[in-house]
């Protein structure tokens, strides 16, 4: 499906607030793609479709995964909201005809992140967190500035704040969120040592 067609279909399928967020992610991802030399069109398609599965019910999320051979971990079973990421990639492929593996994997990992993300995965993860309609997260001004200066440093700050937010609200942290946080924390510490010549 062409981008305009995808946008019209997504506009119809999401509540207006979520569509506004979706456009915010799309434009923010496009800006980051410009900054870092990623394919702008891929960033826009990933942005448009990343939350496509957000409004399936929990039951529908689990059933759609099981029916289509997508894994559901014990954490995902307890927090089916997490499944909207891999189901977004599923809908992107099956309903919107997206076959590009870079786009599908960026959508799959946009909620938890994963260690050693590709450029497009980082761009979508960061754009989702900092798009202009977001106003709840702490440190947004710093995150927004860092995004254009140092992607890995920006990821670390987002992951640190997300893990402490989830912990402070007694929300179970998905192992992939935790592993991603530890990966980018270690990467940052190692790079710090290299800079200091250790
Ligand atoms: O879909 P969005 O709201 O745009 O953003 P998102 O895809 O980052 O999803 C945010 C939701 O995912 C929010 O309700 C918190 C939840 N979430 C993110 N990481 C974890 C998590 N929930 C649990 N239980 N564990 C996590 O590690
Ligand atoms: Fe999401
Ligand atoms: Fe989102």
pLDDT tens, residue by residue, 114-165: 999 999 999 999 999 999 999 999 999 999 999 999 999 999 999 999 999 9
Q: What is residue 198's predicted lDDT score, i.e. its pLDDT?
A: 61
CA 127 – ligand 1 centroid, Å: 14
Average pLDDT over residues 21-49: 98
Is 179's C-beta closer than 6 angstroms to any atom of ligand 1?
no
Give the pair of three-digit tokens for residue 183.
Answer: 């990966």
Enter the pTM of the model.
0.96
User: Containing domain of residue 190, as a range?
Assistant: 3-197
pLDDT at 178 over 90: yes
3-state secondary structure 99-110: CCHHHHHHHHCC
Distance CA 186, CA 170 (A): 25
CATH number at residue 85: 1.10.3210.10
Q: What is residue 193's predicted lDDT score, i.e. its pLDDT?
A: 74
Give the pair of three-digit tokens for residue 4.
Answer: 């305009």
The residue nearest atom 4 of ligand 1, judged by CA position, is 128
Q: Report how many domains make up the chain.
A: 1
For 114, other C-beta atoms within 10 Å of its C-beta total 16
CA 106 – ligand 1 centroid, Å: 15
Query: For the ranges 116-120, 174-178, 189-193, which has the lowest average pLDDT?
Result: 189-193
């Amino acid at each position: 499906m062409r981008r305009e067609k995808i946008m019209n279909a997504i506009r119809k399928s999401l509540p207006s607030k979520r569509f506004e967020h979706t456009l915010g992610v799309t434009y923010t991802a496009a800006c980051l793609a410009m900054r870092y030399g990623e394919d702008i069109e891929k960033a826009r398609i990933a942005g448009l479709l990343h939350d496509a599965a957000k409004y399936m019910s929990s039951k529908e999320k689990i059933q759609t995964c099981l029916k289509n051979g997508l894994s559901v971990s014990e954490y995902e079973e307890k927090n089916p909201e997490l499944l909207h990421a891999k189901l977004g990639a599923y809908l992107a492929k099956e309903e919107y005809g997206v076959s590009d593996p870079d786009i599908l994997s960026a959508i799959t990992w946009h909620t938890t992140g994963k260690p050693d993300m590709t450029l497009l995965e980082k761009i979508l993860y960061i754009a989702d967190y900092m798009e202009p309609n977001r106003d709840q997260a702490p440190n947004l001004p710093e995150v927004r500035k860092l995004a254009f200066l140092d992607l890995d440093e920006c990821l670390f700050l987002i992951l640190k704040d997300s893990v402490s937010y989830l912990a402070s609200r007694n929300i179970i942290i998905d192992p992939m969120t935790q592993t991603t946080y530890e990966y980018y924390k270690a990467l940052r510490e190692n790079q710090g040592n290299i800079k200091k010549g250790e």
